[in-house]
């Protein structure tokens, strides 16, 4: 039996270099807020701009996608693959310093803020959005959980989008590429009141 929609895991990828600012802020801000700062960007800038200025979410007051904090429903995402290849301008092999921040759908709902589910890449113009648990259940979970996703790349990139801000306290796990990254993350969290489990998750990487 598949997990209840509320128990589904959600994943946000970021560079370890960004963790100090995330911790100082108490969580993740939307790309709209971050665009006014200078974070280590790991995605395609032109797609981020599309999300900030062109694609809207009808179920959330017609706000732009870029006003939301994005999560995937899987680790080892196609975005991580393309970033690691160097296709976004970063050095090939850069996944070693990228971590997966893990939470659950139920933590999003508990916030009481606006949220939406995309049926695929939220940076694509043909993507549709919904804001119901039914939409989570109706995602293409076979594609999302696929190891080989060339034929279903759009569906695998389904997203959960959380308006404006997502608190650090809602993360329960941080997945790392190797022991070196694990040590670095644990050092950054040493003085934090909220310290999610940090461990090496080699299967989450390419």
Q: What is the pLDDT of residues 100-157, one digit of tens each?
A: 999 999 999 999 999 999 999 999 999 999 999 999 999 999 999 999 999 999 999 9
Direct distance between the N- and C-terminal alpha carbons of the chain, in angstroms, rounded to an integer: 28
Q: Which residue range is the domain that position 20 belongs to?
A: 5-204
| pLDDT confidence tier of residue 35, bands split at 50, 70 and 90 | confident
Predicted pLDDT of residue 104: 98
Q: What is the pLDDT of residues 136-148, one digit of tens each?
A: 999 999 999 999 9
Q: Cα(203)–Cα(110) distance, rounded to whole angstroms? A: 29
Q: Cα(50)–Cα(13) distance, rounded to whole angstroms? A: 19
Catalytic residues: 51, 159
For the chain, what is the domain count? 1
Predicted pLDDT of residue 41: 54
CA 188 to chain centre: 20
Q: Cα(119)–Cα(136) distance, rounded to whole angstroms? A: 9
């Amino acid at each position: 039996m598949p997990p209840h929609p509320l128990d589904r895991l959600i994943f946000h990828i970021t560079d370890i270099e960004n963790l100090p600012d995330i911790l100082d802020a108490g969580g993740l801000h939307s790309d709209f807020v971050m665009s006014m700062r200078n974070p280590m960007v790991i995605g395609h800038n032109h797609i981020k701009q599309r999300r900030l200025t062109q694609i809207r979410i009808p179920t959330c007051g017609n706000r732009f996608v870029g006003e939301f904090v994005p999560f995937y429903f899987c680790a080892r995402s196609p975005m991580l693959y393309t970033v690691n290849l160097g296709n976004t301008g970063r050095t090939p092999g850069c996944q070693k310093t990228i971590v997966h921040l893990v939470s659950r759908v139920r933590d999003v709902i508990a916030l009481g803020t606006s949220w939406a589910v995309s049926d695929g890449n939220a940076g694509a113009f043909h993507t549709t959005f919904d804001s119901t648990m039914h939409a989570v259940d109706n995602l293409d979970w076979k594609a999302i959980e696929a190891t080989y996703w060339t034929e279903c790349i759009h569906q695998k990139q389904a997203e959960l989008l959380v308006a404006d801000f997502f608190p650090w306290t809602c993360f329960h796990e941080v997945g790392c590429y190797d022991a070196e990254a694990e040590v670095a993350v644990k050092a950054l969290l040493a003085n934090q009141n909220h310290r999610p489990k940090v461990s090496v998750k080699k299967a989450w990487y390419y």
